[in-house]
Chain A
Amino acid sequence: MENKNKKSFLERMGESQVWKSIIRSGVPRSRRQRMQAILGSVFLHLHPARIPKHAVKIGYTWCMGGLSFFLFIVLTITGILLMFYYRPTVEYAYTDIIDMTEQVPLGIMRELHRWGAHAMVLTVWLHMLRVFMTGSYKPPREFNWGVGVLLMTLTLFLSFTGYLLPWDQLAIWAITVGTNMARAHPFIGHEGPGASLLAIGDINLVHAGSDVRFALLGGRFVGEASLLRFYVLHCIGVPFIVMILMAVHFWRIRKDGGISGPL
């Protein structure tokens, strides 16, 4: 009886039914409990329970992969909040952007989202550089490097599609130039080499109304439909693919033997 009273608050909490139902291993004190803290958590067990010494050194990984992931989460949360105010139409988009900075108290959500996106491009690039510099793309991690390259491409594409949404001068000209490149796509763009070969008699199959650019813009000109398409890609389409690829990326880090290191 006496003994029990001397237990600290934390200890007693760790023994309570509620705590134990959530975190089975109790307050992690012993080596065993600490390992269980990792293994028993759906989030933490992304990690192995034990890792080589060099892998926890910030000088080795620079934490850049982790920060890229963290930024992705920050961007998801701030992005969802922005969606409360933003309407993707040519008429409202621009004014909604102004409103959400000026009419909303503590309105730095847009800043967080925008600077976070820039920062994510940087962290992903730095992560790639670190992976290259440590030669971590070498077998058995070739495939994960490939997944990483796709993730980087999609990160850039996410940034780019987001850049268009304020519908300001930067936006409209970036989307104009960007989608006009699609026009020059060999075969499936109407001003690309080979497109004129895809014809039945005199009728061109690939023209301004049927090429990839049209599919991207939802029309022959940059306008209402284009804004909506890029909005959907930015908010749902690309993040969906990125999430799947991230899951593969993280899974493969474990399956390829954890963080790389000298043998």
Chain B
Amino acid sequence: MTEDIKTTPPASVSPAEKDDNALGRRGFFRWMTVGWIAFSVATGGFFTVIVRFLFPNVLFEPPQTFKAGFPNDYASNFVDTRYKKKFNVWMVRDEESIFALSTVCTHLGCTPNWLGTENKFKCPCHGSGFRMTGINFEGPAPRPLERYKISVATDGQILVDKTKSFKWEKGEWENAESFLKV
């Protein structure tokens, strides 16, 4: 086909033979291309619209920051479950720092329970276990619990910002925003 096109010079079609209404071979291919492009764009656009429709721009989500009392409210080596119900956060204080631990199991998102006697978080869905620090050590959870951004507000209260989380496996727990020195 392509060879044909190349070896046939346009001038070789004498004006007398040329029929104005007929679609030449080239014209045919040109329209073919236009047709296919139009078709692909139309279907592609259509599916883009459908898929994009699934992603709203505005979300109605609960507030992501909250105040969690004063640093002195927390005893050392203690897991505070007060903010679990409302904000899905455990406030943990270990020897030298306070951090806000997400209550979302890194396996499939259930809420583990803090078992004080055994000193671990234990997930009821598939049995993952986490230490007080949030490090996973048993069950299927692939990585430690996440920590949220924590800081001290102007009134001296602890401010937890859930829009920013810190992952252990990426070395982010070193980040100064992920804990409060006490």
Contact = CB atoms under 8 A, between A and B. Distances in A.
Q: Do chains A and B touch in the complex (CB under 8 A)?
A: yes
A225 interface: yes
Contact of B59 (A173, A180, A219): A219
A215 interface: yes
A225 B61 CA distance: 10
A220 B108 contact: no
Interface residues of B, number: 13
Given A176-B108, A214-B55, A223 B61 contact: yes
A210 interface: yes
Given A220-B61, A221-B61, A223-B61, A177 B56 contact: no
A239 interface: no
B54 A215 contact: yes
B81 to A, nearest CB: 18
The contact size tier of chain A is: 10 to 19
B110 A177 contact: yes
B36 interface: no
Interface of A is mostly: helix
A180 B54 contact: no
Interface centre among B56, B61, B109 (most CB of A within 10 A): B109
Interface string A207-219: 0011000110011
Contact of A218 (B56, B62, B109): B56
B5 to A, nearest CB: 39
Interface string B71-111: 00000000000000000000000000000000000011110
Interface string A224-245: 1100000000000000000000
Nearest to B109: A180
Given A176-B108, A210-B55, A214-B55, A219 B125 contact: no
Interface of B: 51, 54-56, 59-62, 107-110, 125
